[in-house]
Amino acid sequence: MKGLVIKAHSGFFTLHRLPDGAQFVARAAGRLTKGKHVEDALAVGDRVTFEVIQSGGPITARIIEVEPRARTLSRHDPIIGSAAREIRQVIVANPDLAVFVFACAEPEFTPRLLDRYLVGAEAQRLPVLICASKIDLVGPDQAKALFAEYERIGYCVIYTSAVTGQGIDELRAALHGKLSVLTGKSGVGKSSLLNALKPGLGLAVGEISSKWRKGKHTTVVPELVRLDENSWIADTPGLRAYSIWDVTAEELDAYYREIAPWVSRCAFSDCTHIHESDCAVKAAVARGEISQARYESYCRLREELSQQRRW
Ligand SMILES: Nc1nc2c(ncn2[C@@H]2O[C@H](COP(=O)(O)OP(=O)(O)OP(=O)(O)O)[C@@H](O)[C@H]2O)c(=O)[nH]1
Ligand SMILES: [Mg+2]
Ligand SMILES: [Zn+2]
């Protein structure tokens, strides 16, 4: 039987059988998890072959095979004290789309964090959608102004309000037929959006509006929520999901999509675009073709990456 892993919880996996949707709680066959692995053997989003077992307990299935992954959303998990071993923690297997949720207000929009997420997604070749949430708090004009630069460089931005219902149909259409990963810091309204997308879902929503100030996360376990027949969404715990630590300083320019096209025209092939004199990127910034804010974001991130310890 074929299934989709919709929840992973310390060695147990909840499976959604395809195509009928019957649910099973499974463990993985020993050989799948034994031995050396560079990444988690099983994660939410994996497509598996399984068999039903009679255990008399809560476990009703055994996973016997995992389909090769199209891509993964993952992050490095350095193992303390053994630099040679490195493991990828798979947050979601086979994602089709990353949805980055940023509130127009409460909490305040932080473009530098969006840039980090975008770099992570570009590096993992994951298509991106930006969701500007809580549009009711600022109105359409101010919301558009906040995200204008991202639209200009070609990212799709959908403006939503879980309160008025604005943009929810547009968002639902964009998610159709895909496995999407919803990411954003605590309090931006991810669970509220999911509840609006799927009435009756009843996900817990942070009740105290000051909660985001403490950065407390209401959602803790990544879990796939089914929007319709073949549309799935993972409400991730956020923040750490888009670690960019796989990216090197030298390749960073490739992941700023409006910077990348200029790189080959720089005088030096290893141009950092920071201090060189004959630099096509800096010239494009001077002409206003690359925004000052995004360029500064690039410089800051590059500095940070060049200082990080490699393992
Ligand atoms: N005005 C307004 N408030 C919203 C909107 N969406 C969510 N909120 C409020 O924002 C707060 C946080 O919403 P959540 O949906 O819990 O946010 P979250 O992103 O799921 O937060 P975590 O689970 O902690 O990561 C709650 O008080 C919501 O009522 C919106 O569209 N407009
Ligand atoms: Mg939540
Ligand atoms: Zn340059």
Q: What is the second-level CATH architecture of the domain 249-307?
A: Orthogonal Bundle (1.10)
Pocket test for ligand 1, best of 138, 205, 236 (most atoms within 8 A of CB): 205
Quick: pLDDT tens for 125-148: 899 999 999 999 999 999 999 999
**What CA–CA distance (Å, rounded) separates 38 from 21?**
31
* Span 231-247, average pLDDT: 69
Domain with CATH 1.10.40.50 in the chain: 249-307
Dist. CA 194 → ligand 1 center (Å): 10
Query: Does residue 94 contact residue 124 with C-beta atoms inside 8 Å?
Result: no
Query: Global pTM?
Result: 0.88
- As for ligand 1, residues whose beta carbon falls within 6 Å of it are 133-134, 136-137, 161-163, 184, 186-192, 205-206, 209, 217-219, 238
Query: Does residue 189 contact residue 133 with C-beta atoms inside 8 Å?
Result: yes
Ligand nearest to the CA of 253: 3
Quick: pLDDT tens for 2-23: 999 999 988 899 999 999 999 9
DSSP element (H, E) containing 121: helix 111-123
Dist. CA 212 → ligand 1 center (Å): 9
Tell me the DSSP string of 22-53: -EEEEEE-HHHHSS--SB-S--TT-EEEEEE-
Q: What is the second-level CATH architecture of the domain 92-242?
A: 3-Layer(aba) Sandwich (3.40)
Pocket test for ligand 1, best of 182, 192, 219 (most atoms within 8 A of CB): 192
Asked whether residue 84 carries a pLDDT value surpassing 50, the answer given is: no
Question: Which homologous superfamily is 2-68 in?
Answer: Nucleic acid-binding proteins (2.40.50.140)
Domain with CATH 2.40.50.140 in the chain: 2-68
